[in-house]
Structure 1
Amino acid sequence: MIPSAVTISLVEAARGGPFVYWDDLEAAIREAKELGFDAVELFAPGPDAVDVEQVKGLLTETGLKMAAVGTGAGMVLHRLSLTAVSEDQRTKAKDFVRSMIDFGAAFDAPAIIGSMQGRWGDGLERDAALGFLGNALVELGEHAKQYNVPLIYEPLNRYETNLCNTMAQGVALLESRNITNVVLLADLFHMNIEEVGIADGLRDGGQHIGHVHFVDSNRRPAGCGHMDYAPIVAALKEIGYDGYASAEAFPWPDPSAAARQTIESYRKYFGAM
């Protein structure tokens, strides 16, 4: 059974982004429990933004898990990138990701690298940027290993990065550099833009896929766009995927309605798996 998760953002500068819940962490966790989610995924400003023991207490009380923690605040708030031209900036970016890996480890949760991967251009060649990214994934994947959790790397659509856009490109990056303890995030929104077929893209990712963002074609909650989920669910079953289906979606028309729509769609499509 693929467990469900829902996203919570505490980053004011990212408001308008694709996160279901905002602001009130405790209220979000309690509503997620009430609706029947298995876990939450947290996008926080940094490792010191929440009281870890308080959140652990809430998770224990509700029986929810922490599916993953995001690192995107490193880009949104600090403009840090793992592929910056400046070595000092790349070092700061890795240090921020390490701090979020440590933060997530308190909940036995992996960290996600998405926007912090950056892009090539402006004097930086593609091969050099991929080299910087690959080296960072080696280092950071090794750092995560001490906590018995993987690091999650997310290929993004062409408007957000020009490094890896498809699952096949993500696999090539991991395998060409022998990167270990790093898995891929298959975000259905990004895949809807970049893959010839989402189901085939999931097959391309295969055993490298360790996390899924469950969202519709327009980044609204599942069921509010034109995504065809039947072949997606079949492909996930075919590759033996057993990680989370986590809702990284716009809070449309509002957070509670978006969460409710997501869990209803989750039950419809994943309930029989």
Structure 2
Amino acid sequence: MIKSCVTIALVPQIKTGPWIYWEDLEASIAKAAQLGFNAIELFTASANAIEPSVLTGLLQNSGLNLAAVGTGAGKVIQGLTLTDPNPTIRQQAIAFVADMIAFGAPFQAPAIIGSMQGNVVAGVEREQALEWLADGLNILGKVAEEKKVPLIYEPLNRYETNLFNNLSSGVEFLNFLKTRNVKLLADLFHMNIEESSLPESIRTFGPAIGHIHFADSNRRPVGFGHTAMAEIATALQESNYQGYVSAEAFPWPNPDEAAQQTIKAFREFFKD
């Protein structure tokens, strides 16, 4: 069954980003539960930013699951990426993500590597940067496997990374890895920029997809842009996707209305 999810960010430094709810974890979880979401996707400053017992209590009281945890604060706050030319920084990036894996695993929630993948920077050959990325993903894929969760890797659009920008190149790279425990995140906003056909890419690479980010063409909630969502939903269902469809979208026009529009769109296209 495809399940609904909404994002909650607790990192002030990324407050301008595409997250539906902000700052107040308890209130946000209560609102998500009231609207009928199945889960939340959580962005925190670090793995120890929230006491696990507190999160457990909030989730149990609400009936929600934790779908995934983001790692982007590692880059935004600490400047860490898996492709930094400095080996010390790469090791710190691996340690940060490993801690996030350990934080999410008791909730069966995978960690997402998006912005922490980094870029091929000036003075570094692409092959070298990809070797560093592969090393990091191989290590972290094994860490996640030991915790009995997958690791999620997100191709980003060309304006955010010069590594991998679409599902095809992402799958090709994952097949090159030693670990078989890394899945792709199919972000509909990034795909709208990079894919020639979102439904066809989903049908082609569906088995590699482990998580979906649910946003319209302008990164507002689905229904506030021009993405042909019906065809995408059909492709996901035909691909037998069984994971979460998570609203990583701008809180437009405000968090409450964005959340309401998201669950309305989810029910329209996935009929929960």
TM-score (norm 1): 0.98
Q: Give the distance between the partners of 1:83 and 1:229, measured in 2 at CA.
A: 34
Whole-Å separation in 1 of the counterparts to 2:146 and 2:159: 34
Residue 171 of structure 1 corresponds to 171
Aligned to 1:63: 63
Residues 148-180 of structure 1: per-residue CA shift (max 9 Å, x gap): 110000000001101110000110001122431
Alpha-carbon distance between aligned partners in 1 of 2:3 and 2:98, rounded to the nearest angstrom: 26
The aligned residue for residue 259 of structure 1 is: 259
- Greater shift in the superposed pair: 209-218 or 117-126: 117-126
How many angstroms apart in 1 are the aligned matches of 2:233 and 2:103? 31
In structure 2, the partner of 1:208 is 208
Q: Distance in 2 between matches of 1:206 and 1:145?
A: 21
In structure 2, the residue matched to 1:103 is 103
Letter of the 2:12 partner, please give it.
Answer: E
What's the offset of the Cα at 1:205? Answer: 2.1
- The one-letter code of the counterpart of 1:121 is V
Once the two structures are TM-superposed, the CA of residue 127 in structure 1 deviates from its matched residue by 1.2
CA contact (8 A) 1:134 1:179 kept: no
C-alpha deviation, 1:147, in angstroms: 1.7
Asked if residue 16 in structure 1 is aligned to residue 16 in structure 2, the reply is: yes
In the aligned structure 1, how far is the partner of 2:235 from the partner of 2:125? 35
Please tell me the residue identity of whatever aligns with 2:164: C
- Return the offset for 1:134: 1.1
**Structure 1, 229-238 or 89-98: larger mean CA deviation:** 229-238
| Secondary structure at 1:106 match in 2 | helix
SS of the residue aligned with 2:32?
helix
Are the aligned partners of 1:158 and 1:165 in contact in 2 as well (CA < 8 Å)? yes
Secondary structure of the corresponding residue to residue 242 of structure 2: coil
> Quick one: which amino acid aligns to residue 200 of structure 2?
D
Distance in 2 separating the partners of 1:205 and 1:104? 26
Letter in 2 for 1:21: Y
Partner Cα separation in structure 2 for residue 2 and residue 206 of structure 1: 13
> Could you tell me how far apart the structure 1 residues matched to 2:86 and 2:200 are?
37
| Partner-residue secondary structure (3-state), 2:204 | helix
- Deviating beyond 4 angstroms after TM superposition, the runs of 4 or more aligned structure 1 residues are none
For each residue in 1:4-26, what CA deviation from the matched residue of structure 2 results, as whole angstroms up to 9, or x when unmatched? 00000001000110000000000
Q: Which amino acid aligns with 1:149?
A: V
Q: Is the 8 A contact 1:71 1:113 kept in 2?
A: yes
Paired residue for 1:127?
127
Equivalent residue of 2:61, what SS? Answer: helix
What residue is the counterpart of 2:53 in the other structure? 53
SS of the residue corresponding to residue 104 of structure 1 reads helix
Map of 1:242 onto structure 2: 242
Rounded Cα–Cα distance in structure 2 between residues aligned with 1:164 and 1:75: 18
CA distance in 2, matches of 1:256, 1:51: 26
Identity of paired residues, percent?
54
Structure 2: gaps of 5 or more residues: none
Q: How many residues align?
A: 272
Root mean square deviation, CA, Å:
0.9
Structure 1 residue ranges without an equivalent (≥5): none
Q: In the aligned structure 1, how far is the partner of 2:201 from the partner of 2:11?
A: 31
> Which deviates more from structure 2 when the two are superposed, residues 76-85 or residues 197-206?
197-206
Contact 1:184–1:205 at 8 Å: present in 2 too? no
Q: Deviations over 1:225-248 (max 9, x none)?
A: 001011101111121111000000
> Is residue 156 of structure 1 aligned with residue 156 of structure 2?
yes
TM-score, structure 2 normalization:
0.98
For 2:26 and 2:205, the matched residues in 1 are separated by 35
Mapped contact 1:167–1:204 kept (Cα < 8 A): no
The offset of 1:146, in angstroms, is 1.6
TM-superposed deviation, 1:204: 3.2
